């Protein structure tokens, strides 16, 4: 894998070796990278899965996709790159007939490419229009949110998505100084509202995080995608998620824990009424985090947390042993098989 992560000017992939291990990448395997970015993880997956590996790469940002396409040019016959939101994961896989798979990766958040782009408005360090859309075709920008929400809605949003204690003060200052059009204008407003610097982080960090999450509906899309991902995994297929803040990580943790339990009835329920069956197995209960050496080399990796689970064929999920057998990813002679329930879902998708 040496040399694959040597483009720091583009984006240094986080927890690269740990990700390949967590995905249990194998030659001839089939993988989905839901957050292609600059293609660093994708390149490593393709290298580790050769010969015969296949990768479906998805990114909401067309610019990221263009960079990844160039980077993955050597693998052009083994990759399918799609400019889309991972919230539509299942329909993308149905459209391209790309399931079941051996592994699905989410490396959430932004790439350095986006943070360092002078025109996107993601970073408070660069003066730019207050945009923050991953895909320029989305209609709502950060400026729309800042300039149109009521003061109380804005305060709630900054508190909820930024985990910012000074949300109300910031919202009040924003309301007084609207319209706000640029990142640096917003930084000055936040600095007026809250202490200039608290600890190591800049006072605008949390407000920018909140706006980015809201503009791109990040948490809703993550929840939608995780639910779809489980169905697309073959037996023992791996789900790997790298998150960068506690709101994302909480969603991933709760999802993996819930999906790895047979009953999710509230504590104290005398006997199970939910009928829930585990569809995931936690591969490691421990969260995987970057080593001090990685953080030294790439400070942006410091908040990364990797969680991994494997698909589990629950008893009762299939009507018959034959159907369960179809859940195996490689059938006799290496032919890809699909469970009947996914076939039905795909037929419904194609007919719609």
Ligand X SMILES: C[S@@+](CC[C@H](N)C(=O)[O-])C[C@H]1O[C@@H](n2cnc3c(N)ncnc32)[C@H](O)[C@@H]1O
Query: How many chain residues bind ligand X (CB under 6 A)?
Result: 22
Using the CB atoms, write b or e for 255-277: b if 16+ within 10 Å. Answer: bbeebbeeeeeeeeeeeeeeeeb
DSSP 3-state of 251? helix
User: How many Cα atoms within 13 Å fall on the side-chain side of residue 314?
Assistant: 16
Q: Left (φ > 0), alpha (ψ -120 to 50) or beta: where does 106 sit?
A: beta
Q: Which residues have C-beta within 8 Å of that of residue 223, sequence separation ≥ 6?
A: 251, 255
Cβ of residue 89: shortest distance to ligand X, in angstroms?
Answer: 9
How far is residue 58's CA from residue 131's CA, in Å, rounded to a whole number? Answer: 22
Interface with ligand X includes 109 (CB under 6 A)?
A: yes
Cβ of residue 78: shortest distance to ligand X, in angstroms?
Answer: 17
Region binding ligand X by CB under 6 A among candidate stretches 105-113, 116-124, 306-314, 315-323: 105-113
Q: Which residue is nearest to ligand X (CB)?
A: 37
Cβ of residue 16: shortest distance to ligand X, in angstroms?
Answer: 7
Q: Which of 41, 206, 307, 311 binds ligand X (CB under 6 A)?
A: 41
Interface with ligand X includes 107 (CB under 6 A)?
A: yes
Q: Which of 54, 111, 183, 298 binds ligand X (CB under 6 A)?
A: 111
How far is residue 139's CA from residue 206's CA, in Å, rounded to a whole number? Answer: 23
The phi, psi pair for 114, rounded to 5°, reads: -75, -40
Separation in Å, CA 276 to CA 250, 252, 281, 282, 324: 21, 18, 14, 17, 18
In the region spanning residues 50 to 89, those forming contacts with ligand X, defined by CB under 6 A, are 58-61, 64, 85-87
Cβ of residue 322: shortest distance to ligand X, in angstroms?
Answer: 36
Cβ of residue 61: shortest distance to ligand X, in angstroms?
Answer: 4
Q: Which of 82, 104, 110, 180 binds ligand X (CB under 6 A)?
A: 110
Site residues, ligand X (CB under 6 A):
11, 13, 35, 37-41, 58-61, 64, 85-87, 107, 109-111, 134, 221
């Amino acid at each position: 894998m040496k040399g694959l992560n040597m483009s720091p000017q583009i984006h240094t992939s986080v927890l690269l070796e740990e990700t390949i291990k967590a995905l249990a990448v194998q030659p001839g395997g089939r993988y989905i990278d839901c957050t292609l970015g600059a293609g660093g993880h994708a390149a490593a997956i393709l290298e580790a899965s050769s010969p015969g590996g296949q990768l479906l790469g998805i990114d909401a940002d067309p610019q990221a996709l263009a960079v990844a396409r160039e980077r993955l040019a050597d693998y052009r016959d083994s990759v399918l790159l799609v400019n889309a939101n991972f919230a539509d994961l299942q329909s993308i896989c149905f459209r391209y007939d790309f399931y079941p798979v051996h592994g699905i990766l989410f490396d959430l958040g932004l790439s350095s490419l986006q943070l360092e782009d002078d025109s996107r408005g993601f970073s408070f360090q660069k003066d730019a229009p207050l945009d923050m859309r991953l895909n320029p075709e989305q209609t709502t920008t950060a400026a729309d949110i800042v300039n149109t929400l009521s003061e109380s809605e804005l305060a709630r949003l900054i508190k909820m998505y930024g985990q910012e204690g000074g949300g109300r003060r910031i919202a009040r200052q924003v309301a007084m100084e609207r319209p706000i059009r640029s990142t640096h204008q917003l930084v000055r407003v936040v600095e007026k509202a809250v202490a200039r610097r608290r600890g190591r982080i800049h006072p605008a960090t949390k407000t920018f995080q909140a706006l980015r999450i809201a503009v791109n509906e990040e948490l809703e899309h993550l929840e939608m995608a995780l639910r779809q991902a489980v169905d697309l995994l073959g037996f023992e297929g791996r789900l790997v998620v790298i998150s960068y803040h506690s709101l994302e990580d909480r969603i991933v943790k709760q999802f993996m824990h819930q999906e790895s339990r047979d009953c999710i009835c509230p504590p104290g329920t005398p006997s199970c009424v939910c009928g829930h069956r585990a569809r995931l197995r936690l591969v490691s209960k421990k969260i995987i985090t970057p080593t001090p050496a990685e953080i030294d080399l790439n400070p942006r990796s410091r908040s990364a947390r990797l969680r991994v689970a494997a698909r589990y064929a629950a008893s009762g999920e299939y009507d018959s042993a034959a159907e369960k057998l179809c859940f195996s990813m490689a059938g006799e002679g290496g032919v890809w098989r699909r469970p009947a329930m996914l076939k039905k879902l795909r037929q419904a998708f194609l007919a719609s």
